[in-house]
Amino acid sequence: MVVGDFSQDVDVLVIGGGPGGYVAAIRAAQLGRKVVLAERDRLGGVCLNRGCIPSKALITASHRYAQMLRSAEWGLIADRPPRIDFSATQTWKQGVVDRLTGGVASLLKAHGVEVIRGEAFFAGEDTVSISTEQSGQRYRFHRCILATGSRPAELPGIPFGGRVLSSTEALELKEVPGRLAVIGGGYIGIELGQMYARLGAQVTILEGTDRILPGFGPDMTRLVMRRLERDGVRVITAARVEAVEQSAGEVLVTYRTGGTAGSGAGRNANQGSDPETRPAGSGDAVRADYVLVTVGRRPNTADMGLENLPIRMDERGYIEVDRQCRTSLETVYAIGDIVKGPALAHKASYEGKVAAEAIAGLASAVDYRVIPAVVFSDPELASAGMTEEEARSAGHDVVTGAFGFAANGRALSLGEAEGLVKWVADRKTGVLLGGQVAGPEASSLIGEIALALEMGATLEDVALTIHAHPTLGETIMEAAETALGRPIHQIVRK
């Protein structure tokens, strides 16, 4: 690899082509900047290629398969039992991914963004070398936006490889495993664990804390736990993984219940006991064909030369930025998973727009009060703004209102009547503080809740908005009416 001696000047250099980087590049181009985007892998980043999109495609396929198995409930009788051709499912999934990544390339081209495939390394405060195996070139930038994303975190002493999978490998399996162990009961572990359980795998989830999906309230996670039990998924909480032992045909995960979450070192052996529930503090093991490790993500900020720049980072590698996504080096901005906050694609895209607009001299600044969080579990969970507990902690006199999908005609006609919508508001003013959804299409319904919060709407505003019937969205109106004390389709016990 040879890097050119002469530097090319560029107005805005974006490093990373994921949902933060490509959005930032397009927005900067819309604002009249000449933009170069450097991406070492595929456009679309982890989200389009190895995360959000492929996982949701497989989750959808698993739901369709589960519906086929229960089709007799609707009077739809199949002549023979349904079966899974998982290789065909994977081919379909990849087609979805390819279509979207191709769309990103077309959008960048249409906006005049130059895309360079290669690895970026800072050669100075305003210079980056972008290299491939064959050649390289230096670029001197006026402004730079870092959007290099994150990668799955490994457990200490238990590296990915063989039968130890990250989410990337779990989405690329050629067949449905007979047995799957999942370490981590956060959103990735629950989504993929439920997906494979619906496809027929025997799934065990080991979570280090005392409950799954700790970012959501117990009234919501209780619904997911109920569905996990129904699907035969075994969930073990307060479980500290001590070792992962691989053999030619299986993997053995040993853990200890009680105490704090942690990990010992992995070993290569093939022995252990059958999994049983033990008293707190006891040890146990689970055998599986694969173990999926979902214990968080790490920012991709190493091996870029950032340590040689006056850019402040914390001990975990996250870059410190201001409200316009500007780092301590005035000409460099950072967005997405490499800055603090939830590792969400829509957060990265939002920050990308803010950074591009700040570079163009606009007064844009981040406001994180209304970032929707979604888990594509079964049932789906979604939240925006404050939870009831957070609102009370912030000093609000809180009023809440909840409405269940069991009383919603559209949910019943879909055969998905489990779940609820909940509003959190200030009692005196009625101003909405937050909202949560657990149930069918929660991922879509949260959009109305986020808009209401962003606009500073009140319970009265939502209650007086006419919602079409029969739709799932009526539950949002009904929950507001409940909080106001005048529900129509719900009996309030006095």
Q: What is the DSSP letter of 320?
A: P
Q: Which of 19, 14, 28 is nearest to 149 (CA)?
A: 19
Catalytic residue among 111, 346, 396, 469: 469
Distances (CA, A) of 254 to 282, 294, 398: 11, 16, 44
Q: How long a stretch of residues is the chain?
A: 494
Structure tokens at 125: 């405060």
Residue 34: CB atoms within 10 Å: 15
Structure tokens at 95: 């087609």
**How remote is the C-alpha of 141 from its chain's centroid?**
32
DSSP 17-42: -STTHHHHHHHHHHTT--EEEEESS-
Q: Which of 394, 376, 382 is nearest to 450 (CA)?
A: 382
Give the helix/strand (H/E) hosting 168.
helix 167-170
User: What sign has the CA pseudo-torsion 297, 298, 299, 303?
Assistant: negative
Residue 7: CB atoms within 10 Å: 17
Are 420 and 438 in contact by the 8 Å Cβ rule? The answer is yes
Distances (CA, A) of 399 to 110, 382, 402, 448, 480: 49, 20, 10, 19, 10
**How remote is the C-alpha of 194 from its chain's centroid?**
15
β-partners of residue 398 are 426
β-partners of residue 122 are 128
Structure tokens at 39: 């991406």
Active site residue 469: yes
Query: Residue 454, class by beta-carbon neighbours within 10 Å (0-12 exposed, 13-18 middle, 19+ buried)?
Result: middle
Using the structure block, give the residue that is written with the tokens 């040879």. 2
Q: How far apart are CA 37 and CA 238, in angstroms?
A: 44
Distances (CA, A) of 438 to 91, 219, 277, 422, 472: 31, 9, 29, 9, 12
Are 253 and 288 in contact by the 8 Å Cβ rule? The answer is yes
Q: Are strands 164-165 and 283-288 parallel, antiparallel or unpaired?
A: unpaired
Residues annotated as part of the active site: 469
